[in-house]
Amino acid sequence: MIRVYGDIMLDRWIIGKANRISPEAPVPILKEKQQKIMPGGAANLAVNIANLNGDIATYGSVGNDKEGFTLIECLEPFKNINFNIVNDSECTTVKNRLVGQGGQHIMRWDREIQYKGAEACDRLIHDLNKDDIVCVSDYNKGTVQKDTITKILKKTPYVLVDPKQDPSYYKGAWLVKPNMSEWKQWFIEFHPNYAHTKMIEYGWEWLIVTDGARGLHVLNKNGKHAHYKEEAREVADVTGAGDTVLAVLAYCIEQGKDVWNSAKTACFAAARAVEHRGVHVVTPKDLNKGVVFTNGVFDILHAGHLQLLKQAKQLGNKLIVGVNTDSSVQRLKGSNRPINDIQTRIAQLEALPWVDQVLTFTEDTPIELIRKIQPDLIVKGGDYTVQTVVGHDICDVKIIPLIEGYSTTKTIEKMNEL
């Protein structure tokens, strides 16, 4: 079972328009249009895991105040979460965000008092079993004390930590996931070999360092290092992306995946999460890269083709390539094309490690093939724009820059010069 422990908060978004400056002070005036209230901190992590994994349990503390009751009400729809939340905090931690037009954050004000209780941790320790996975969501609000990880490790070795305090608080944790800013606050710089020495020093089996749009670094206790990166189609809001990563890691590991593949999936899910404004609750769809489609003649394969196909595969689980038949190529390119017949072109594409399926089409465009496949993403080269790509009205389109100097036409011209 997955159990979430840590600092539970209430996130409040006050959304409106800021079109003028206050006459009382040089600050913008936000005219409120709506408010959104969502679980934050460890509660947001719990909601994300529950949305993927079914039954989980979460532990923490709120205040005996209006915000605490509001937070409990926000969590009530999630029937598959067993909430072990005590109300022994002096107040509920609240993050208030003022957001103007276009999603621009104007300011944030927080309400919090450091937690000094012990009941939340006691409940967790009482319930733990040896095979449980414990996700510790530490925002340095007092729920995680110097000996918290030690207590958990006496019951189960599988402790995954999102840290905010000194690394000594997390000695012996199975997996620690700081962001790059937190890592540099700890150790000044990041380098895989140096990071490995710190893993040994603190007894971590796995280290995952998230680095925003630059992806994430994964290291194990043996010193093996991998770097994963996924592009977001548009970054709308990075709030909650760290919770997405930890939630997907816990879910995938509990499902039996190794940490490498779990991290790769988490990286992809985080890229999907930042495409949404506000805190986005991860869904099973966010874990599925889906079907990617591209098309072309692919008469004489060159480096530009290979780069396009390689990058297209990285954007999905399955890459389908549509290829013009010989008669289609002759109508588009002339009677002296293609150089290679359709059987040869199919065989060349199927031999590539990135191509999962090759389909042909006899029409001038692949629109009917796209309608039949219903891909999640169409990928084309940089000589296109989104609006000129056939099928842009059916699914998302990704334009990949071309490698300069490569084309089948230029290759044929060089051959004719010989």
Q: Is 237 a catalytic residue?
A: no
**Residue 6, amino acid:** G
**Residue 246, amino acid:** L
The span from the CA of 126 to the CA of 307, in Å, is 54
CB 328: neighbour CB atoms within 10 A? 20
Which distant-in-sequence residues (6+ apart) come within 8 Å of 157 by Cβ? 174
CB neighbour class for 267 (10 Å; exposed up to 12, middle 13-18, buried from 19): buried
Q: Please provide the DSSP assignment of 232-285 as one string.
A: -SS----TTHHHHHHHHHHHHHHTT--HHHHHHHHHHHHHHHTTSSSPPPP-GG
Of the residues 243, 286, 299, 376, which is catalytic? 243
The span from the CA of 380 to the CA of 399, in Å, is 5
Report how many helices (DSSP H) and strands (DSSP E) the chain contains, helices first.
13, 18
**Helix/strand/coil for 356:** coil
Tokens of 384: 């296109």
Q: Is the peptide bond before 338 cis (omega within 30 degrees of 0)?
A: yes
- The backbone torsions φ and ψ at residue 130, rounded to the nearest 5 degrees and listed phi first, read -65, -25
Q: How far is CA 41 from the centre of its chain?
A: 17
Which are the catalytic amino acids?
A: 243
